[in-house]
């Protein structure tokens, strides 16, 4: 079953024929909202509003662990994460981009399920942070639905909630980041830790600080306008992806290894 995590501009999924909602408690606390189950294009899917139904939870306060845990516990085999981003290079406001890599600049967020205590030490492979299989299904869905989706980008995850300085964006550009957003991490890493396929559809809602139209500053009114019009394409893309995702996980477990007494075990 595909899970969709909706970000800013996508706090509900109108194309989902809702069957039930479920409030979940996890060992990490409560998810951002009740999980919304339903049928989409004839297949079961589950939706979660990352910032809460009323969009009240800022990026640094999202309980990413509870969100990912709850989706796994409820049988999600893959997560398609929708996120709004600023474009640093190679994109324009209104574009949809499917990143293939990320750089994590976030700090202070609980970012792992393997947090010590009396567990064994676990390291997951994160060389390729997004599931290539799920990315390919997204590209196929975009082709099927005649939806423009750019293949590839480097997502720079920042803590926010403030936007960046022009110099910070210049540094991220030098690092190789082409997009900047506030929610992509630790979400992607947590999905990997639980063996859930994860990919992100990024909606470019503004030029990043100091770039293009944001030369003198980032316009919040502009962001709201772009978000609203781009979400139609996102909904259409989701409608075409859901039927392509198998019920069972696509690429599970091979990324996870435990390090015990210096010996790697799989």
**Residue in 63, 206, 241, 242 binding ligand HPA, rule: CB under 6 A:** 206
Question: Measured from the CB of residue 218, what is the shortest distance to ligand HPA in angstroms?
Answer: 6
Binding mask 71-90 for ligand HPA (x = CB under 6 A): -------------xxx----
For ligand HPA, the closer CB: 18 or 224: 224
What distances in angstroms separate CA 157 from CA 45, 58, 84, one per listed residue? 27, 14, 11
76 and 134 Cβ atoms separated by less than 8 Å? no
For ligand HPA, the closer CB: 76 or 88: 88
Question: Measured from the CB of residue 18, what is the shortest distance to ligand HPA in angstroms?
Answer: 28
- For residues 187 and 64, what is the distance between their CA atoms, to the nearest angstrom? 6
- Residue in this structure with the two tokens 């809602």, named with its chain if needed: 205
Question: Measured from the CB of residue 107, what is the shortest distance to ligand HPA in angstroms?
Answer: 15
Terminal-residue alpha carbon distance, the chain: 26
Question: Measured from the CB of residue 239, what is the shortest distance to ligand HPA in angstroms?
Answer: 24
Residue with smallest beta-carbon separation from ligand HPA = 86
155 and 91 Cβ atoms separated by less than 8 Å? no
User: What b/e sequence results for 45-82 when a residue is b if at least 16 CB atoms lie within 10 Å of its CB, and e otherwise?
Assistant: bbbbbbbbeebebebeebbbbbbbbbbbeeebbbbbbb
Residues 217-236 interacting with ligand HPA (rule: CB under 6 A): 218
Residues 147-186 interacting with ligand HPA (rule: CB under 6 A): 158, 163-164, 180-182
- For residues 111 and 91, what is the distance between their CA atoms, to the nearest angstrom? 29
Question: Measured from the CB of residue 189, what is the shortest distance to ligand HPA in angstroms?
Answer: 18
What is the binding site for ligand HPA (CB under 6 A)?
A: 84-86, 158, 163-164, 180-182, 205-206, 208, 218
């Amino acid at each position: 079953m595909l899970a969709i995590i909706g970000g800013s501009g996508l706090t509900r999924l109108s194309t989902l024929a809702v069957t039930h909602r479920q409030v979940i408690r996890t060992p990490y606390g409560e998810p951002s909202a009740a999980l919304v189950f339903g049928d989409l294009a004839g297949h079961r899917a589950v939706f979660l509003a990352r910032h809460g139904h009323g969009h009240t939870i800022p990026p640094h306060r999202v309980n990413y662990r509870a969100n990912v845990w709850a989706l796994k516990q409820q049988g999600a085999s893959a997560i398609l994460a929708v996120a709004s981003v600023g474009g640093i290079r190679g994109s324009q406001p209104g574009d949809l981009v499917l990143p293939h890599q990320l750089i994590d600049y976030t700090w202070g967020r609980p970012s792992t399920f393997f947090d010590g205590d009396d567990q064994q030490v676990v390291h997951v492979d994160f060389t390729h942070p997004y599931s290539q299989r799920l990315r390919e299904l997204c590209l196929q869905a975009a082709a099927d639905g005649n939806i423009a989706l750019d293949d590839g980008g480097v997502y720079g995850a920042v803590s926010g909630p403030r936007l960046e300085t022009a110099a910070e964006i210049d540094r991220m550009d030098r690092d190789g980041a082409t997009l900047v957003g506030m929610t992509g991490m630790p979400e992607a890493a947590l999905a990997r830790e639980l063996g859930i396929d994860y990919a992100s559809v990024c909606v470019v809602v503004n030029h990043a600080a100091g770039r293009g139209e944001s030369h003198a500053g980032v316009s919040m009114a502009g962001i709201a306008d772009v978000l609203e019009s781009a979400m139609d394409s996102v909904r259409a893309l989701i409608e075409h992806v859901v039927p392509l995702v198998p019920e069972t996980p696509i690429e599970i477990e091979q990324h996870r290894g435990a390090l015990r007494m210096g010996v790697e075990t799989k």
